[in-house]
Amino acid sequence: MADSQGPTHGEASGEAPSSPSVTGGGGEGGDRSHRAYWRSNLRLMAVLLAVWFVVPFGLGIVFVEPLNAFHLAGFPLGFWFAQQGAIYVFFVLVLIYALWMRRLDHEHGVE
Amino acid sequence: MSILTWTYITVGLSFALYIGVAIWSRAGSTSGFYVAGRGVPPMANGMATAADWMSAASFISMAGLISFMGYQGAIYLMGWTGGYVLLALLLAPYLRKFGRFTVPEFVGDRYDSQLARVVAVFCAIFVSFTYVAGQMRGVGVVFSRFLEVPVDIGVMIGVGLVFVYAVLGGMRGITYTQVAQYTVLIIAFMIPAAAISHKLTGSWIPQIGMGASLIEGPNAGRFLLETLDAVQRDLGFPEYTAAWVSGKKSMADVFAITLALMVGTAGLPHVIVRFYTVRNAAAARWSAVWALFFIAILYTTAPAVATFARVNLIQTVDGRAYSEVPAWFTSWENTGLISFEDKNGDGLIAFNGDSNVNELTVDRDIIVLANPEIAELPNWVIALVAAGGLAAALSTAAGLLLVISSSISHDLLKSFLWKDLDDRQELRAARIAAAFAVVIAGYFGIHPPGYVAQVVAFAFGLAAASFFPILVLGVFDKRTNREGVVAGMVTGIAFTASYIVYFKFLAPEAGPDAWWFGISPEGIGALGMVLNFAVTIAVSRVTAPPVPELQALVDEMRLPREGPASQ
């Protein structure tokens, strides 16, 4: 189980100057870096979740009728968002998140 | 060769494949049985998640439902994919980092509460049983139509097969059979879809064909959707792409159902545990990317299949003499899933939006299964669809059964009743629990409680109202404590269950006018979720905060770096 604070995150210590010292669960600098990491994560999440909400519920449901006045090939636009577009957007969102977090993990030495 | 011979070949080969994979990958330890030894690569886990996720409802019923619902079918399309964004951003990496075997175990350890764990076990078992019943019914439908065996025998064959690989193989066996099942089901779904798309619109890509023009018939050169809207209007049905039509769901209801399905997805234990099987938190994020990729292939194709099926159905049957119907019509009639009543006695089939004129009743469940026949595709394609439907149902059933068995052996037996259970005994207990669960699921398959998709919709409402809020708060709000989550879960599930039971069973005659805020029982999980959030946060704030050790545990969970010895 992962519940004991063992001394095994030695690998991370060489990778970033701000990563915590090995013993005692991280020093002051480590905590500050971890807080910055968490804040960046929350900011990114807020942006992505806003898109997650607006596209299906806004474009696909609430504004579907006004959008249906426009067309994308044979699709009324609102209908397209509801049955196609939203799903593509969901995929792009999780892809952006995974890529961005890979960089963020690396910058903060928490990978 | 006949359809029946082809079906025996494809179904037989696919079953042999699953059993072979299961034997090769069987589990020898509790870690292997519960979480596949935590060594599944993200892409393989993405495929397994997709198969686990896409049930008999997705494969067999969904395109058919959409075909009858038109625009409003979007509730399933968006609802059953949007939850993966929530999983990837809010849950998967953190729950994986926390490193337990089951979702109730996470709840129990994060909140240091055996009571919370028991409530979670109850929810997990209830949700999973509700859901598994639909899968077994799906197995029965496929067997009865394609292999011409009675539904009961079909269910028993399905039970026997799941028994072999879920009980022996555990999560390891399930994972790699699910990879094989994904491959079978996606091929079985895409080949007919591409062929029908090409036939109607000239495009091999259904997602494009759906927005393209027809290439044959009296409406050649006109957009497919535009034509369908016009034909529907002529027959007295609402336009296919029209959003808000009287007699259909209201905007508030569509909004609530979509939200409930999304949030429910992210709260389903059998989906969450799939993310426990990968190496670390980062791999959990990539698993979600792959899972959504593999799911999106089917979910963007299904609405196209729905429109093609609708066009084909209308063109094939409306106005045709009953004595001249194609062979597929008769064979589906024999299963009772299509029926024709010659109301005006003219011998012609009238398909109409006016129920006094309409003479044709088509069960939604057969649209995908009959589609290749309606489109006159070769026999081996039709046989492939049967194998795909079985793959979808069996893969989901196996994942659910594992949740039920691990809830019993790990969360109830090992942690309460029989604490000194060693690894080998626990493994045996898990297998016995899985065996019992399979048999009970089989019983539900033979005595099904309603439509496949409807039954599944309830599981989502309950998952949304019980698990999702307390899991998210467990990661993102350190102040949330055990008093809060027990109160929140009980409120959420009691509210949602009583609303559903009241409007579905006690007072089914009380229609939409009596619904709160115009929300149907299918969508009420969204409100239950909000209630759960509110109660959990409020009760946590007026009771003592979690001890510093627990808060430190949350801090550690938020960092993806590999902690010590994660099983």
pLDDT digits (tens, 9 = 90+) for B133-163: 777 777 777 777 777 778 788 888 888 888 8
Q: Determine the Cα–Cα distance for residues B106 and B101; give it in Å rounded to an integer.
A: 8
pLDDT band for position B456 (cuts 50, 70, 90) = low
Interface test with B, best of A63, A87, A102 (most B CBs within 10 A): A87
Contact B66, B77 (CB under 8 A): yes
Distance to chain B for A29, nearest Cα, Å? 15
Q: Is pLDDT above 70 for A15?
A: no
Contact B278, B287 (CB under 8 A): yes
pLDDT band for position B85 (cuts 50, 70, 90) = very high
Q: Determine the Cα–Cα distance for residues B395 and B473; give it in Å rounded to an integer.
A: 30
What is the rounded end-to-end Cα distance, in angstroms, of chain B? 51
State pTM to two decimals: 0.88
Give the CA distances from residue B31 to residues B46, B77, B219, B247, B312, in Å, rounded to whole numbers and listed in that order: 20, 34, 59, 51, 50
Whether residue A37 and residue B90 make contact (CB cut-off 8 A), yes or no, is no
Contact B56, B392 (CB under 8 A): yes
Q: Determine the Cα–Cα distance for residues B307 and B301; give it in Å rounded to an integer.
A: 10
Q: Determine the Cα–Cα distance for residues B387 and B188; give it in Å rounded to an integer.
A: 7
Q: Which residues contact B351 (CB under 8 A, 6 or more apart)?
A: B235, B313, B314, B317, B318, B358, B359, B360
- How many Cβ atoms are within 10 Å of B567's Cβ, its own excluded? 15
Please identify which residue in the block is written with the tokens 């890979």. A102
**Helix, strand, coil tally for chain B in percent (to 5):** 75, 0, 25
Contact B255, A61 (CB under 8 A): yes
Q: A15 in a domain, yes or no?
A: no
Please identify which residue in the block is written with the tokens 């997650």. A52
Tokens, residue B39: 């060594």
Report the pLDDT value the prediction gives residue A9, as an integer from 0 to 100: 40
Q: From chain B, pick out residues whose CB is under 8 angstroms from the CB of A76.
A: 225, 241
B420 touching A (Cβ < 8 Å): no
Distance to chain B for A110, nearest Cα, Å? 5
Which residue type, as a one-letter code, is found at position B304? A
Q: How many CA atoms lie within 13 A of B487 on its CB side?
A: 17
Q: Is pLDDT above 60 for A26?
A: no
Q: A47 in a domain, yes or no?
A: yes
pLDDT in tens, B366-389: 777 787 877 778 888 888 888 888
Domain of residue A90: give its range: 20-108
pLDDT band for position B454 (cuts 50, 70, 90) = low
Q: From chain A, pick out residues whose CB is under 8 angstroms from the CB of B77.
A: 82-83, 86-87
Whether residue B224 and residue A79 make contact (CB cut-off 8 A), yes or no, is no
Task: Write the burial class of residue B330 (CB in 10 Å: 0-12 exposed, 13-18 middle, 19+ buried).
Answer: exposed
Report the pLDDT value the prediction gives residue B566, as an integer from 0 to 100: 41
Q: A3 in a domain, yes or no?
A: no
Report the pLDDT value the prediction gives residue A17, as an integer from 0 to 100: 40
| Residue B249 DSSP symbol | -
Whether residue A6 and residue B243 make contact (CB cut-off 8 A), yes or no, is no
Contact B95, A2 (CB under 8 A): no
Interface test with B, best of A43, A90, A92, A99 (most B CBs within 10 A): A90
What is the rounded end-to-end Cα distance, in angstroms, of chain A? 19
- Mean pLDDT on B244-269: 90
pLDDT in tens, B391-434: 888 888 888 888 888 888 887 777 777 777 777 788 888 888 88
Nearest to B520 by CA among B448, B467, B454: B454
Q: From chain B, pick out residues whose CB is under 8 angstroms from the CB of A34.
A: 555, 558-559
Q: How many domains does chain A have?
A: 1
A57, closest residue in chain B (CA to CA): B255
Q: From chain A, pick out residues whose CB is under 8 angstroms from the CB of B310.
A: none
Q: Produce one character per residue of B536-562: b if its CB has 16 or more CB atoms within 10 Å, e if not.
A: bbebbeeeeebeeebeebbebbbbbbb
Q: A96 in a domain, yes or no?
A: yes
pLDDT band for position A8 (cuts 50, 70, 90) = very low
Pick from B168-177, B277-286, B444-453: least confident: B444-453
Tell me, letter by letter, the H, E, C secondary structure of B446-495. HCCCCCHHHHHHHHHHHHHHHHHHHHHHHHHCCCCCHHHHHHHHHHHHHH
- How many Cβ atoms are within 10 Å of A10's Cβ, its own excluded? 8
Q: A10 in a domain, yes or no?
A: no
Q: Determine the Cα–Cα distance for residues B543 and B558; give it in Å rounded to an integer.
A: 24
Tokens, residue B92: 């998967």
Nearest to B373 by CA among B384, B389, B387, B357: B384
Q: A8 in a domain, yes or no?
A: no
Cα-flanking dihedrals φ and ψ of residue B359, to 5°? Answer: -120, 0
Tokens, residue B40: 């599944």
Report the pLDDT value the prediction gives residue B334, as an integer from 0 to 100: 78
Our CA dihedral for B486, B489, B492, B497, rounded to 10 degrees, sits at: -110
pLDDT in tens, B511-557: 777 888 888 888 899 999 999 999 999 999 999 899 888 888 888 88
Whether residue A94 and residue B88 make contact (CB cut-off 8 A), yes or no, is yes
Question: What mean pLDDT value characterizes chain A?
Answer: 78
B97, closest residue in chain A (CA to CA): A2
pLDDT in tens, B4-52: 888 888 888 988 888 888 888 776 777 777 777 788 888 989 999 999 8
Q: Which residues contact B291 (CB under 8 A, 6 or more apart)?
A: B45, B46, B47, B49, B50, B53, B84, B274
Our CA dihedral for B552, B556, B559, B564, rounded to 10 degrees, sits at: 160
Whether residue B243 and residue A68 make contact (CB cut-off 8 A), yes or no, is yes
Nearest to B38 by CA among B182, B222, B175, B202: B175
ipTM score assigned to the predicted complex: 0.90
Q: Determine the Cα–Cα distance for residues B298 and B296; give it in Å rounded to an integer.
A: 5
Tokens, residue B293: 């990729």
Distance to chain A for B159, nearest Cα, Å? 33
Q: Specify the DSSP element, H or E, that contains B387.
A: helix B379-406
Report the pLDDT value the prediction gives residue B440, as an integer from 0 to 100: 85
Report the pLDDT value the prediction gives residue B41, as an integer from 0 to 100: 86
Our CA dihedral for A100, A101, A106, A111, rounded to 10 degrees, sits at: -160
Helix orientation angle between B3-24 and B168-201, rounded to the nearest 10 degrees: 140
pLDDT in tens, B463-508: 899 889 999 999 999 999 999 999 999 999 899 988 888 887 777 7
B546 touching A (Cβ < 8 Å): no
Q: A2 in a domain, yes or no?
A: no
Distance to chain A for B142, nearest Cα, Å? 27
Kindly state the percentage of chain B with pLDDT values over 90: 23
Whether residue A110 and residue B207 make contact (CB cut-off 8 A), yes or no, is no
pLDDT, greater one: B334 or B203: B203
Nearest to B316 by CA among B382, B386, B367: B367
Q: A11 in a domain, yes or no?
A: no
The three-class DSSP label of residue B321 is strand
Report the pLDDT value the prediction gives residue A7, as an integer from 0 to 100: 38
pLDDT, greater one: B106 or B61: B106
A with B: how many residue pairs have Cβ under 8 Å apart? 166
Tokens, residue B486: 């027990």
